[in-house]
C-alpha cells in the first residue's frame, strides 16, 4: 500500500483553497460562525490528520436556522415564486454542481476517504441527476377535482378539489457514507415541493454540504430557503428534532438513532421519514451465471468499503456451487488495490473514521470467535488511517452476530444452503428489509422469489443499482417512506381538501 502522507498536496487549487480556512455555517443566506464560537476538526480518513476546522452548530444555531427557514417559508419570496421559477433555480444549481464537479469529488474523497474517480462518477453525477430529475416536478405536482355526492338543496352546489401543499420547515439529518449525494436526495425533492430546509450534515463529513451551500447561494435561492448547520448528532441533531417550528424530520442513518428521533418527534407529532440500516442478502440460485454473480457479489459488499445501507452483506450459495464461489470471491477480492482514495487506482479505501474502523475490526473478531472461517482479509492495512482489508467470512450461519447485525464495512458473510425452498426464509430472517439481490438465469425463479422477499428493493443479476426514477426505502426496521422517483413527493407535500358551496 502506498501511503499518501500529505493528502492536501494531491488536491486541485479550488479544493485546496476551500480547506485552507475555517468553514462557517449557512444561516439565512449568510455564512456565520457558531453562537458558541466553537469549531471541530474534520479528519482525513487516509491519515487521521485534521483537514480543516468547521464551525460547530448547537441549539442556538439550529434555532436561528429554523426561524430563518420559517420566515422564508411564510413571508419570503420563495412561497410566491412560480413553479417554473423554482425549476429554473434547481436547474441552475445542477449546472453549478456540474461545473464544480471535480472540486466536489476531491473534497468528497478527502473528507470521506472514498475513491476520487468513483466519487466523481457516482456521488457527484447522481447528485446532479437528482437535482435535474426533481427540477421537473414543481410544474407537475397537482391535486384532483373531486366528484362530490354530498346531499344538497336544489339550488346548492358543492365543488371539491385538492391542493398538494408543501409540508413547511423540514429538518434533514444525513450520514457520512455519501455526503453530497445524501444532500441531493434530501434537498432536491423538498425544494421541488416548495419547502424550506435546515440540513445537518454528518460530523465526519461536512465539507461537500458546505461547498454545496455556496453553490445554492450562487444559484440565487432566496435567503433562508436552505440553511446548513454542521454539528454533532446529540447536540445539533437533537435540537433540530426537538424544535417546535420544524414540521418534519427526514433522516438517514442508523436504526438506533432513527428510533430516538421517531420517539422525540412523536411529542410534537412531527412527520418523519426514515432511511435506516440494512443487512441485505445476495442470493445465488443454483442456475446462476457465476461469471456475473461472483464479481457482482464482491462489488455488492466492497463498493464504498461496505459503507452502504443496502450493501449485499449476506451471501447465500447453494451447496453444489459453494467451493467454486468461495474460490472466485477470494480471487476477485485479492485483485483489489488498497490505498488512499485520492489515487483513483485504489479500489479499497479507508473507512470513514476511527470509530467505524474499531467497530468493523470488532465484528471481524466476533466472527472469528463465532466460528466463521476467514477466507481473505481480517486485518488492518498499514499503520495510519482507517484501512481494513476486504474480508470474507465463510461458513457462517443465521445465529451468528455477524450475520444478524449491520457491520457497515468490507466484510462479507457467506453461507451455504442445500434446499432452495429455504431461501426466502433465510433471506427474511433479519430485522432489516432494505435491499436484496437474486442471481439467476431463470425468469420463473424471478417470478417465484421476488414477491416473497421482504425488502424495499430487489435487484436481479445486479446489486446497489440506484436510479433517481426508482423509489428507495425500507421494509421492517430499515425505515419508512420512499425517497426518489415520484413516491418521494408523498414525503414533502400534504393534501388540502377544498370544498366550495356555490
- CB 103 → ligand NAI: shortest distance, Å? 23
Neighbours of 291 (CB within 10 A): 9
Query: What are φ and ψ of residue 9, in 5° steps?
Result: -65, -20
Which residue number, 260 or 431, has a Cβ lying nearer to ligand NAI? 260
Question: Looking at 107, 209, 228, 257, which residue binds ligand NAI (CB under 6 A)?
Answer: 257
Q: Cα torsion for 353, 307, 337, 47, to the nearest 10°?
A: -10
**In a 3-state reduction of DSSP, which class is residue 40?**
strand
| SS3 of 161-226 | EEEEEECCEEEEECCCCCHHHHHHHHHHHHHHCCCEEEEECCCCCCHHHHHHHHHHHHHCCCCCCE
Of 241, 332, 391, 430, which one interacts with ligand NAI (CB under 6 A)? 241
Site string for ligand NAI, 57-96 (x = CB under 6 A): ----------------------------------------
Greatest Cα-to-Cα distance within the chain, rounded to the nearest angstrom:
85
Under rule CB under 6 A, residue 456 binds ligand NAI: no
467: Cα separation from own chain's centroid: 13
Out of 76, 113, 138, 175, point to the residue binding ligand NAI (CB under 6 A): 175
Q: Which of 33, 117, 163, 260 binds ligand NAI (CB under 6 A)?
A: 260
312, 437 contact by CB (below 8 A):
yes
Any idea which residue has 457491520 for its cell?
407
- How would you classify the pairing of strands 312-318 and 145-146? unpaired
Draw the binding track, 121-150, toward ligand NAI (x: CB under 6 A; -: no contact). ------------------------------
Nearest CA to 142 out of 174, 160, 165 is that of: 165
Q: State in angstroms the smallest separation of the CB of 224 from ligand NAI.
A: 21
Catalytic residue among 309, 310, 406, 413: 309
**Binds ligand NAI by CB under 6 A, chosen from 276, 348, 375, 488:** 276
> Which grid coordinates are listed for 213?
451551500
Q: How many residues of this chain interact with ligand NAI, rule: CB under 6 A? A: 28
406: contact with ligand NAI by CB under 6 A: yes
> Cβ of residue 466: shortest distance to ligand NAI, in angstroms?
12
Residue 317 pairs with which residues in a beta bridge?
A: 416
Please report whether residue 166 would count as binding ligand NAI according to CB under 6 A: no
From 30-38, 58-66, 77-85, 246-254, span contacting ligand NAI (CB under 6 A): 246-254
Candidates 293, 309, 455, 484: give the one binding ligand NAI (CB under 6 A).
309
Q: Which is nearer to ligand NAI, 187 or 293 (CB)?
A: 187
What letter does residue 236 receive in the DSSP assignment? I
Question: Smaller CB distance to ligand NAI: residue 202 or 455?
Answer: 202
Residues 181-220 that bind ligand NAI (CB under 6 A): 200, 202-203
Beta-carbon contacts of 456 under 8 Å, excluding residues fewer than 6 positions away, are 433, 434, 435, 471, 472, 473, 474, 475, 478, 482
Grid cell locating 52: 480543516
Choose, by CB under 6 A, the member of 7, 252, 305, 376 that binds ligand NAI.
Answer: 252
- Residue 418: DSSP 8-state: S
Instruction: For residue 309, indicate whether it is catalytic.
Output: yes
For ligand NAI, the closer of residues 340 and 356 by Cβ is 356
CB-nearer residue toward ligand NAI: 177 or 346: 177
Per CB under 6 A, the segment of 9-17, 30-38, 205-213, 234-242 that binds ligand NAI is: 234-242
Tell me whether residue 275 is one of the annotated catalytic residues.
Answer: yes
Q: Which of 391, 407, 409, 386 is nearest to 339 (CA)?
A: 386
CA pair distance 427, 284, nearest whole angstrom: 11
Cell of 155: 339550488
Q: Any contact of residue 177 with ligand NAI (CB under 6 A)?
A: yes
Nearer to ligand NAI, 111 or 203 (CB): 203
Q: How far apart are the first and last CA of the chain?
A: 77
495, with CB counted inside 10 A (0-12, 13-18, 19+), is exposed
Quick one: 14 or 254, whose CB is closer to ligand NAI? 254
State the DSSP H helix or E strand holding residue 331, giving kind and residue range, or none if neither.
helix 322-334
Restricted to residues 355-384, the positions that interact with ligand NAI (CB under 6 A) are 356, 359
Residue of this chain nearest to ligand NAI (CB atom): 233
Q: Please report how close the Cβ of residue 474 comes to ligand NAI at its closest, in angstroms.
A: 9
List 277, 339, 367, 481, residue binding ligand NAI (CB under 6 A): 277
Considering 87, 275, 389, 483, which one is annotated as catalytic? Answer: 275
DSSP state letters, 292-308:
HHHHHHHHHHHGGGG--
> Could you say which of 105, 118, 238, 325 contacts ligand NAI (CB under 6 A)?
238
The C-alpha atoms of residue 454 and residue 499 are separated, in whole angstroms, by 40
| Binding residues for ligand NAI (CB under 6 A) | 173-177, 200, 202-203, 232-234, 237-238, 241, 252-254, 257, 260-261, 275-277, 309, 356, 359, 406, 408
Active site residues: 275, 309
Amino acid at each position: 500500500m502506498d501511503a499518501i502522507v500529505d493528502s492536501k498536496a494531491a488536491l486541485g487549487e479550488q479544493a485546496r483553497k476551500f480547506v485552507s480556512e475555517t468553514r462557517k455555517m449557512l444561516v439565512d443566506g449568510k455564512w456565520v460562525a457558531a453562537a458558541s464560537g466553537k469549531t471541530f476538526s474534520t479528519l482525513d480518513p487516509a491519515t487521521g490528520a485534521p483537514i480543516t476546522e468547521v464551525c460547530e452548530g448547537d441549539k442556538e444555531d439550529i434555532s436561528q436556522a429554523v426561524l430563518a427557514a420559517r420566515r422564508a417559508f411564510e413571508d419570503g419570496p420563495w412561497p410566491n415564486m412560480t413553479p417554473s421559477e423554482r425549476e429554473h433555480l434547481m436547474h441552475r444549481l445542477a449546472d453549478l454542481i456540474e461545473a464544480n464537479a471535480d472540486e466536489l469529488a476531491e473534497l468528497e474523497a478527502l473528507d470521506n476517504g472514498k475513491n476520487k474517480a468513483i466519487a466523481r462518477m457516482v456521488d457527484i453525477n447522481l447528485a446532479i441527476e437528482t437535482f435535474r430529475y426533481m427540477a421537473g416536478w414543481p410544474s407537475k405536482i397537482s391535486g384532483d377535482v373531486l366528484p362530490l355526492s354530498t346531499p344538497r338543496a336544489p339550488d346548492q352546489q358543492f365543488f371539491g378539489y385538492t391542493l398538494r401543499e408543501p409540508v413547511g420547515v423540514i429538518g434533514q439529518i444525513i450520514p457520512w457514507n455519501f455526503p453530497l449525494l445524501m444532500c441531493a436526495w434530501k434537498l432536491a425533492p423538498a425544494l421541488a415541493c416548495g419547502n424550506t430546509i435546515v440540513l445537518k450534515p454528518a460530523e465526519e463529513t461536512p465539507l461537500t454540504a458546505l461547498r454545496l451551500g455556496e453553490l445554492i447561494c450562487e444559484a440565487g435561492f432566496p435567503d433562508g430557503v436552505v440553511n446548513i448547520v454542521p454539528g454533532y448528532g446529540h447536540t445539533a441533531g437533537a435540537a433540530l428534532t426537538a424544535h417546535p417550528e420544524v414540521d418534519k424530520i427526514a433522516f438517514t442513518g442508523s436504526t438506533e438513532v432513527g428510533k430516538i428521533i421517531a420517539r422525540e418527534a412523536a411529542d410534537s407529532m412531527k412527520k418523519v421519514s426514515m432511511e435506516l440500516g440494512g443487512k441485505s442478502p445476495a442470493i445465488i440460485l443454483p442456475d446462476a451465471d457465476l461469471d456475473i454473480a461472483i464479481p457482482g457479489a464482491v462489488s455488492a459488499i466492497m463498493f464504498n468499503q461496505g459503507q452502504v445501507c443496502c450493501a449485499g452483506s449476506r451471501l447465500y450459495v447453494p451447496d453444489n456451487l459453494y467451493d467454486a464461489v468461495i474460490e472466485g470471491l477470494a480471487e476477485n477480492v485479492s485483485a483489489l488495490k488498497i490505498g488512499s482514495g485520492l489515487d483513483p487506482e485504489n479500489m479499497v479505501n479507508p473507512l470513514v473514521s476511527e470509530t467505524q474502523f474499531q467497530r468493523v475490526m470488532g465484528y471481524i473478531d466476533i466472527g472469528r470467535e463465532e466460528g466463521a472461517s476467514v477466507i481473505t482479509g481480517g486485518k488492518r492495512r498499514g499503520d495510519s488511517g482507517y484501512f481494513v482489508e476486504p474480508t470474507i467470512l465463510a461458513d457462517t450461519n443465521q445465529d451468528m452476530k455477524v450475520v444478524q447485525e449491520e457491520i457497515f464495512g468490507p466484510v462479507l458473510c457467506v453461507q451455504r444452503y442445500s434446499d432452495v425452498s429455504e431461501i426466502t426464509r433465510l433471506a427474511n430472517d433479519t430485522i432489516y428489509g432494505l435491499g436484496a439481490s437474486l442471481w439467476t438465469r431463470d425468469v420463473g425463479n424471478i417470478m417465484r422469489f421476488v414477491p416473497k422477499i421482504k425488502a424495499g428493493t430487489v435487484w436481479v443479476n445486479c446489486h446497489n443499482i440506484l436510479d433517481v426514477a426508482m423509489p428507495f426505502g425500507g421494509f421492517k426496521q430499515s425505515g419508512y417512506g420512499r425517497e426518489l422517483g415520484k413516491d418521494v413527493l408523498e414525503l414533502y407535500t400534504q393534501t388540502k381538501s377544498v370544498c366550495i358551496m356555490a
